[in-house]
A and B are shown apart, each in its own frame.
Chain A
Amino acid sequence: MTATLSATQTCLSLEDVSIRYWNNEAVRGVHLGVPRHKVTAFIGPSGCGKSTVLRCLNRMNDLIEGCTLSGRVVFDGQDLYAKTVDPVEVRRRIGMVFQKPNPFPKSIYDNIAFGARINGYTGDMDELVERSLRKAALWDETKDKLSESGYALSGGQQQRLCIARTIAIDPEVILMDEPCSALDPISTLKIEEMIHELKNSYTIVIVTHNMQQAVRVSDMTGFFNVNTFSDRDTKVGCLEEFADTQTIFNSPQQKATQDYVSGRFG
């Protein structure tokens, strides 16, 4: 296990990250290293701040009024929250897939071409669209109706379109915020298979409320929990344990993790 860890590099690391909305502390003191070309899952009860931590990895939290972060998020040797960093550039290298499928009100083709165009894609667009849809296992279903609206697809297909759209900009990291929570089991399965394929080329961080899903897709798992601190009366999320997925589910070090993965709460 140590051998595998040293062979992989850390892609994103969080150093003492705390996030607050106005005066409410949402997450406190997260230390975490996301390994490159692996799938890292965040699990935990609702309200534990796992989505908040995910969104801070590509500065999506900037779009929420009153959200501030302390600590460091290091990517590619740089603190993402340094003053000189352009959040838009961050998002061009760290893409995101959301909980609810959100295709643009455009054709399937343009849904994919949109992101590539704004990232200044200079290659063959038709080829890129096909390649992205193939990677998202959507090509066969859509190759004859690329000019139809993205809304014409089913929920599962829409979500795969959103993943294809993210793949098309070829980011280094893909963040997924409960990507299957709105989908049926078959679509979920397809997306999980896709994640296995994708980790060869991308680093993936996925938030899931489904523990089986974490076991199935992830290499590393972070368990977030809600704690009360003596200096606050509100509950604050924090990272309880971060380790190999096998370790988290089979021999966790923390009692809370043990309780959670064995279904005793949450």
Chain B
Amino acid sequence: MKAPPAGDLFALRRRPPQEKMADQGFRWMTIVLASLVGLVLAGILLTVLMGSREAMGRFGFQFLVLSDWDPVGDTYGAFTAIYGTIVSSVLALLIAVPLGVGTAIFITENLIPARIRQVLGLMVELLAAIPSVVLGLWAIFVMEPFLRPFLELLHTSLGWMPFFSTVPQGPGMAPAILILVVMVLPIITAIARDSLQQVPTELRQAAYGIGTTRWEAILQVILPAAVSGITGGVMLALGRAMGETMAVTMIIGNSNNFTLSLLAPGNTIASMLANQFGEADGFQVSALMYAALVLMLLTLVVNVLAQWIVRRLSLKYA
């Protein structure tokens, strides 16, 4: 048999060991880098768990239902913040979902010229790029003063309801909810738009083909087909709203006194962390870590649920 042409001009016909090592080394490097994701996640969980051990030992599950947050007396209960987190994000979504889905329909279902649709879509995406802290600044100096007369009107006319029972005095739950709406709107719009675009053209044509009007098709055929994708997007937005920090911190008032009124200052876990973590020491740090753990678990559940819903969707269209 002919020997391999060893004397030829190709010096690397036989791979030198360095080259094989580079190949293997690169592979291992990417494996290590990929596993950093797991490491960081484990690190986050571990840091928060270890930090909150002390508070967990002292308060146990009572921490979740007591609304007493007293750094001087060193007793802590996170109920106000947990309640604020859930109420603010759920109410924000109740407002943002119709707006976002409506906008998504408007920019996908060619009700208007393509040019305007593109501009609208771009604007919604740019809205997502504005930093939370800038929205907070705007909320403090522009939105809240502008809203105050309306909130006062709400108080005077509906003050008998516990939700509007206090006089609005600036920062509070209501403006925080509205700024959250602004923040989650782009997420919901983007995901709803993607889901609507994934609805097969045949389905649309089938609907129009049997003589439906555009909106009959949208409401009875297209939206139902896209509903699981939109639900996944709504869940993702819920997770984002729960963890949203800066804008909320700047406008919610940061009060740990529990009240049902949406016009009064309140707190969320994220805003409490932003406000107190830097200056806290001793046992308060542990209590804050415990609150952080609660927030993490809440968002984790919501996000995993969202992923599960989205995965089910992608299986359906595969």
Contact = CB atoms under 8 A, between A and B. Distances in A.
A and B touch in the complex (CB under 8 A): yes
Contacts of B14: 89
B12 interface: yes
A36 B13 CA distance: 20
Contacts of A169: 10
B15 A121 contact: no
A96 B8 CA distance: 20
Given A9-B1, A76-B2, A76-B4, A123 B12 contact: no
Interface residues of B, number: 15
Given A89-B14, A89-B15, A121 B9 contact: yes
A122 B9 contact: yes
A170 B4 contact: no
Contacts of B20: 86
A82 interface: no
Interface in A118-160: 118-123
Given A86-B20, A170-B8, A77 B1 contact: yes
Contacts of B130: none
Kindly state the interface size class of chain A when it binds its partner.
10 to 19
B117 to A, nearest CB: 32
A86 B20 CA distance: 9
B11 interface: yes
B15 A88 contact: yes
B13 A89 contact: yes
A93 interface: yes
B2 A119 contact: no
A123 B4 contact: no
B1 A119 contact: no
Contacts of A9: 1-2
Interface string A148-182: 00000000000000000000011010000000000
Nearest to A88: B15
Interface in B1-25: 1-5, 8-15, 20, 23
A119 B12 contact: yes
A120 B10 contact: yes
A92 interface: yes
B61 to A, nearest CB: 47
A184 B25 CA distance: 44
21 contacts: A9-B2, A36-B2, A76-B1, A76-B2, A77-B1, A86-B15, A88-B23, A89-B13, A89-B14, A92-B10, A92-B12, A92-B15, A93-B4, A93-B13, A116-B10, A119-B10, A119-B13, A120-B10, A121-B10, A123-B9, A172-B5
Q: Which 6 A-B pairs have the closest CB atoms?
A: A120-B12, A120-B11, A123-B9, A119-B10, A122-B9, A77-B1
Given A119-B11, A120-B12, 18 more contacts: A9-B1, A76-B1, A76-B2, A76-B3, A86-B20, A88-B23, A89-B13, A89-B15, A92-B10, A92-B13, A93-B4, A93-B13, A119-B13, A120-B10, A121-B9, A122-B9, A122-B10, A172-B5
